[in-house]
């Protein structure tokens, strides 16, 4: 089985395991499934949960698309007349309770071909990151600890390198602050003299398999905390920053839009209720200010 086929089979199975566990945790709402096709080639399986007891909105999507690489992406990659194949799983979960963090994860594989159909480039990318609205340092430490364990199983240099890349990538430059408390981000993982594509497959799937262990214990511990309207207001204000990052900076969103991806699937990452307040600043010494200070100065969590 080729790496392409192996990874596509993997993300299908991972989607099943993640959505099943999230439904179990919510114990109220279930995922709605949409199968879709891309006119230029390929398609996907979108699963969305809404208005649950725990999860206000979330999506766990897989896709496998192929065809001629659009001109805008040819310019981006510095190639001409190339074809491509891309598959991956992308998820974003927005909990109802402001004390439960939003989480994002993505694991993907890309191939590029010449006109003879030969592979001229291939790589893996992905990661997972946590976006709290109220900072529980124990939660950030747990999430990062699981990320580090997955990395250390393959190379002890991976976690510090990919943690730093996550802090750099998920940075709202126009706000001069991080989107959240980070996690892992890696891209363009290619075969070289030290690692094969099978080695990278083993690493990326290790990270994917660690996701539920990284996130679900946090949800279970925080989902029943009582909250007020003020807490919800802050959550919605911070969600606005989340939207800003996804629409301005996120590579996955931009790639989907430029390759005629399914708009509903691409934008499922956006939360259902958001606020933008003019020149809003949290009160001095508040828990809200504590979060913002950490977002302005990323720290080591493990």
Is there a catalytic annotation at residue 104?
A: yes
Q: Give the other-Cβ count within 10 Å of 223's Cβ.
A: 17
Q: Catalytic residue among 94, 104, 142, 231, which?
A: 104
Residues annotated as part of the active site = 104
């Amino acid at each position: 089985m080729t790496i392409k086929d192996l990874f596509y089979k993997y993300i299908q199975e991972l989607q099943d395991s993640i959505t099943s566990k999230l439904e179990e945790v919510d114990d109220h709402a279930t995922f709605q499934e949409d199968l879709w096709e891309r006119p230029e080639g390929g398609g996907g399986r979108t699963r969305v949960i809404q208005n649950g007891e725990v999860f206000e909105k979330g999506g766990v999507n897989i896709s496998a698309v192929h065809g001629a690489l659009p001109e805008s992406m040819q310019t981006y990659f510095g190639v001409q007349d190339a074809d491509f194949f891309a598959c991956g799983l992308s998820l974003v979960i927005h909990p109802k309770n402001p004390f439960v963090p939003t989480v994002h994860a993505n694991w993907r594989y890309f191939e590029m071909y010449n006109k003879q159909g030969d592979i001229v480039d291939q790589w893996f990318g992905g990661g997972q990151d946590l976006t709290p609205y109220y900072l529980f340092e124990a939660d950030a430490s747990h999430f990062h600890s699981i990320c580090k364990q997955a990395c250390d199983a393959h190379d002890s240099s991976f976690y510090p390198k990919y943690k730093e890349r996550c802090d750099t990538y998920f940075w709202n430059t126009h706000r001069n602050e991080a989107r959240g408390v980070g996690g892992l981000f890696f891209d363009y993982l290619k075969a070289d003299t030290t690692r094969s594509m099978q080695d990278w497959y083993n690493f990326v799937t290790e990270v994917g398999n660690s996701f539920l262990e990284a996130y679900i214990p946090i949800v279970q511990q925080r989902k029943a905390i009582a909250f007020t309207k003020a807490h919800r207001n802050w959550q919605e204000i911070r969600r606005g920053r989340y939207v800003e990052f996804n629409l301005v900076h996120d590579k996955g969103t931009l790639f989907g839009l430029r390759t005629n991806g399914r708009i509903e699937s691409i934008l499922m990452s956006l939360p259902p209720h958001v606020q933008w307040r003019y020149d809003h600043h949290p009160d001095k010494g508040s828990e809200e200010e504590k979060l913002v200070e950490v977002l302005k100065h990323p720290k080591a969590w493990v």
